[in-house]
Amino acid sequence: MAVPSWLERLRAAGKTALVQDGKRKIHYLFEDGKEMAEEYDIKTGQLISRKWQEKNTLGGTGKWQVEVGEPTSPLLGALESELITESSSNPIFMRKDTLSSFQWRIRNLPYPKEVYSVSVEEEQRCCVIRTTNKKYYKKFSIPDLDRYHLPLDAAALSFTHANNTLIITYQKPKEILAAEEQLQKELKKIKAANSGDGDCKTQ
Amino acid sequence: SRSFPLICSLPTTFCVSRSSVLGSNSPILRFLPKFWGSISILDQHPPNFTLHPNFGVLPPHLNVPTPKFWGSPLIFGVFPLFLPYREETEIIEGEVVEIQIDRPATGTGTKVGKLTLKTTEMETIYDLGAKMIEALSKEKVQAGDVITIDKATGKISKLGRSFTRARDYDAMGAQTKFVQCPDGELQKRREVVHTVSLHEIDVINSRTQGFLALFSGDTGEIKPEVREQINAKVAEWREEGKAEVIPGVLFIDEVHMLDIESFSFLNRALESDMAPVLIMATNRGITRYLSTPGQNHSLTHLGTPKSVVVTLFGEKETQKVLRIGCEEEDVEMTEDAYAVLTRIGLETSLRYAIQLITAASLVARKRKGAEVGVEDIKRVYSLFLDESRSTQYMREYQEAFLFNELQGESMETP
């Protein structure tokens, strides 16, 4: 295969690790200039967040794109606060994985469970959330499956609703589980650069 | 009649907005073939100059703090080598459900607002900032309109009105376009082609805060190393076909405000094979340099062989400009009145004639006339003095004014 597999790309990337606040933070620098930052819980090995950053066409660095974890509170620049932002009462979409499944949580969705339907679009390689009252609609892809070139399976997808939150769960296929286990072993081998509190020591 | 030894000349104040002159039916732009690309406009009104946003150029409102900053560095900055490049941007596209703008009770302070947008599948509430509120009210966006907003720049474009709102009114303007309510998600990523000038790339790369520096106006100095790097990169992009360089058109208004260094720079820069088409406008034929008072400048050392002199505003053109002016101001005028006003425009100044339009329409309205006639023009002509009559008046009564004993050097006017 011409395209190197995801695991190979991860191996080739420059990695820096750091243990801080009970999290193992790993920074990857890929050959094409993209950067990825991951945070794992030390005790459980659970992925807490994954972010991406790439240089834009003109050479400036863009913002971090959150793939997994809490969306960064938008630090509004002078320009953005003058323009347009989503109201805080809108639904907030975030991904929060568990060890055995990919999971998405959408907060601020007060409608009853019957309203929602979640389906898989095979050709577009994404999942779609629809609401019968036409209040919310979201298309999202599962980048992990794309990276391992795995098909989407409608049977693996389920959802529940509680406390104004819609939780969508997609069982991780066994290929992913195996790859993640292997990755964890390799990540453990990277020596954490600084296990201290990260602050500069004063003299 | 007056003739201008420059490439062209426009009235600097044109009715309400100058964009009507520089707009699509402008007498100037008629001369420009479409393929000449982007047009940037360098307006020399101190203390700001603006790259005109109407032409899709990013508008960096660079403040020019002191007169010593005018001139070559500034021009160098905006000398436009446009570089279209593709980038994905986030846009919001939807039908306006509700737009709500709260003014503070005290009358001053920032306005806050909420905008509800929907597609066939969803709806979302957005908080609006002051600039966005201004832009929305400028575009006269109301419930039922289908709009797109570029999230990064805040540019709004109206696509039309939603079909579901087609029965709101019985009477519709001819331009009202009905469109389907968009489907899918409100926020979409769309590939757009940007054009940026080299200066903008320099700015993005020279500072950590990057892009924002363009808008805050504090660009600071761009180091030669950065410039060289950018030049190399741009050359690379051109070879790879990622970007192309369009020289574009640089329009410098009030060109007489530039100093001698600027003209030397322009002279040199025009010889570059990527030089843009340069259009200069002034209302002064021969005047003095700002920085070097002793010397007259007439742009002649930009070289007549290098430039084409367009003499605008003969009788026909004057009348045309006046007609555009009347259209802008929604003033109806009889043919006789046009003829009289054109005469005035030719004999006094075009600006004076344009300014008479509004005044004359007010006079016409007062006598409850449907359109402006010759007598209205006559009336305002007697009420308001033009430059030469005003000068004459001053000469006649100069003993009656203060400071008449001062025998200063009188200003030369063309």
For the segment A49-81, what is each residue's pLDDT rounded down to a tens digit? 898 887 766 666 667 788 888 876 555 444 455
**What number is the average pLDDT over the span B331-344?**
88
B86-192 CATH, one of 2.30.30.220, 2.60.40.1190, 2.40.50.360, 2.40.40.20: 2.40.50.360
Q: HEC string of B6-17?
A: CCECCCCCCCCC
Say whether pLDDT at A45 is over 80.
yes
- Residue B402: per-residue pLDDT: 72
Nearest CA distance, B50 vs chain A (angstrom): 18
Do B218 and B106 touch, CB atoms closer than 8 A? no
Q: Which of B283, B273, B260 is nearest to B45 (CA)?
A: B283
Mean of the per-residue pLDDT values of chain A:
81
What integer is the mean pLDDT of A21-38? 86
Q: pLDDT tens for residues B279-298? A: 776 665 555 555 555 555 55
CA–CA gap between residue A88 and residue B173 (Å, rounded): 38
Position B155: which residue type? K
The pTM (predicted TM-score) of the whole model is: 0.55
Check pLDDT > 80 for residue B113. yes
- The predicted structure's pLDDT at residue B178: 86
Segments of chain B assigned to CATH 2.40.50.360: 86-192
Collapse the DSSP code of B309 into the 3-class scheme (helix H, G, I; strand E, B; otherwise coil) and give the result.
Answer: coil
Question: For residues B332 and B370, what is the distance between their CA atoms, to the nearest angstrom?
Answer: 7
Q: Are B151 and B87 in contact (CB under 8 A)?
A: no
The whole-angstrom distance between A122's CA and the closest CA on chain B is 17
Residue A151 pLDDT exceeds 60: yes
Bridge-based pairing state of the strands B123-128 and A84-86: antiparallel
Contact A145, A176 (CB under 8 A): yes
- Comparing alpha-carbon positions, the chain B residue that sits nearest to A81 is B129
**Sign of the C-alpha dihedral, residues B171, B176, B178, B181?**
negative
Mean pLDDT, chain B, as a whole number? 67
User: Which pLDDT belongs to residue A152?
Assistant: 87
Contact assessment for residue B187 and residue A138, using Cβ atoms and an 8 Å cutoff: no
Using a CB-CB distance cutoff of 8 angstroms, which residues of chain B are in contact with residue A137?
A: 119, 121-122, 184-185
Rounded to whole angstroms, what are the CA distances from B5 to A146, A156, B41, B266?
Answer: 66, 78, 21, 18
For A109, which residue in chain B has the nearest alpha carbon?
Answer: B124
For the ranges B69-83, B242-256, B318-332, the one whose mean pLDDT is highest: B318-332
Helix, strand and coil in chain B, % to nearest 5: 35, 20, 40
CA of B130: which chain A residue's CA is closest?
A82
More confident residue, A37 or A200: A37
B132·A135 Cβ contact <8 A = no
| A126-135, B74-83, B130-139, B199-208: range with lowest mean pLDDT | B74-83
At which residue do the structure tokens 């790439």 appear? A54
Q: For a pLDDT cut of 70, what percent of chain A falls above it?
A: 83
Asked if B76 has any chain A CB less than 8 Å from its own CB, the reply is no
Residue whose C-alpha is closest to residue A22's, from A48, A50, A42, A38: A42
pLDDT at B406: 60
Which of B123-137, B167-181, B219-233, B394-408 is least confident? B219-233
> Looking at beta carbons, which residues of chain B come within 8 Å of A87?
114, 124-127
Q: So what's the pLDDT on residue A167?
A: 92
Residues composing chain A: 203
Listed residue (A128, A147, A146) closest to A138, CA to CA: A128
Which chain A residues contact residue B119 at CB under 8 A? 137
* pLDDT above 90: percentage of residues in chain B: 3
| CA–CA dist B114, B125 (Å, integer) | 7
Nearest-10 crossing angle of helices B224-240, B198-206:
120
Q: How many CB pairs under 8 A join A and B?
A: 85
Residue B203 pLDDT more than 70?
no
User: Is B167 exposed, middle or buried, given 0-12, 13-18 or 19+ CB atoms closer than 10 A?
Assistant: exposed
Averaged pLDDT, B151-157: 80
Q: Round to whole Å and give the CA distance between B161 and B145.
A: 4
pLDDT given for residue B65 in this prediction: 30
In terms of pLDDT, which residue wins out, A124 or B172? Answer: A124
Calculate the CA B208 to chain-centre distance. 30
Residue B92 scores a pLDDT above 60: yes
pLDDT(B332) > 50: yes
pLDDT 10s digits, A152-166 = 888 888 999 988 899
- Nearest CB among B85, B121, B126 relative to A85 is that of B126
Q: What is the pLDDT of residues B7-31, one digit of tens each?
A: 333 333 222 223 333 433 344 444 3
Question: Across B3-43, where does the E strand assignment appear?
Answer: 39-42
The answer, yes or no, to whether the previous bond of B47 is cis (omega within 30 of 0) is yes
CATH 1.10.357.10 assigned to B315-383: no
* Cβ–Cβ < 8 Å for B314, B329: no
Q: What is the spatial order of strands in the sheet that B277-280 belongs to?
A: B39-42, B249-252, B277-280
- CATH 1.10.8.60 residue window(s) in chain B: 315-383
Q: Does B217 touch chain A (CB under 8 A)?
A: no
